[in-house]
Structure 1
């Protein structure tokens, strides 16, 4: 059996926020996401795309009680691959992220940490890029 490298990310996790514009600013400032698109007027964010510099990203919007895609704010949890978790840890803490797991090394070879954002979402950052996929 041969293996191939992990593919470029094409899964886009989504979340809702009570103050989507403030969360966007926090995610840009604390973690380094890039604001790619934000649609909406005033406090309402219909759709936003934040790109991760190392590939992939997230989508988010304001909490709404209409339509089929209803998520509560603060219920998201995600893992994000990063090349320099130590620098990102310092940046996140300086921006006010609540540390829920200090910098650590895992038994599967990752170095990383976990934090909570102001909306209550959980974010884990680390060097583990996933296992290569089988070419079969």
Structure 2
């Protein structure tokens, strides 16, 4: 039997008040890899953080300008991220300052999950559930 689950091609995007600080946190606490960061000084125009198992996120500094076409309120983002070792990642995240929302637990569909918030208030759920294979 082959797995028809495709490689990730959806890149969740968020804005941050302290984008460079959030990048440092996401790398240290969760293990994202800093792939690209564009901007000057503390401003981040665009950043790509890759997830070791595939896919990743994009983020930038919040912009309080009337011509901003991509307005997102910092701290309102939420994501589910697949990990092979949620218990070790939970310990790493808490040690790095993530705010606990839900301790690791086993779901009724076979996943092991936990949930935390980053310093900006974004919600991050990590677990072993990789989604269901596509039909046909």
TM-score range, shorter chain: over 0.9
Q: Distance in 1 between matches of 2:5 and 2:126?
A: 17
The alignment status of 1:23 with 2:36, answered yes or no, reads no
The residue that corresponds to 1:92 in the other structure is 93
Query: Is contact 1:3-1:132 (8 Å) kept?
Result: no
Q: Distance in 2 between matches of 1:62 and 1:72?
A: 11
In the alignment, structure 1 segments of 5+ residues that lack a partner are none
In the alignment, structure 2 segments of 5+ residues that lack a partner are none
The residue that corresponds to 1:131 in the other structure is 132
Query: Is contact 1:74-1:121 (8 Å) kept?
Result: yes
TM-score scaled by structure 1?
Answer: 0.96
CA RMSD of aligned residues (A): 1.2
May I ask how many residue pairs the two structures share in their alignment? Answer: 134
Q: Distance in 1 between matches of 2:46 and 2:99?
A: 26
Query: Is contact 1:3-1:134 (8 Å) kept?
Result: no
Determine which structure has greater relative contact order: mean sequence separation of CA pairs < 8 Å that are 6+ residues apart, divided by chain length: 1
The residue that corresponds to 2:113 in the other structure is 112
TM-score scaled by structure 2?
Answer: 0.96
User: Deviations 1:64-111 (Å, cap 9, x if unpaired)?
Assistant: 133210101000000000001111011000000001011000001100
SS in 2 for 1:92: helix
Shift of 1:5: 2.3
Q: Which runs of 4+ in 1 moved over 3 A?
A: none
Which residues of 2 match residues 27-46 of structure 1 at below 5 A? Answer: 27-46=26-45
Query: Is contact 1:4-1:134 (8 Å) kept?
Result: no
Query: Is contact 1:102-1:113 (8 Å) kept?
Result: yes
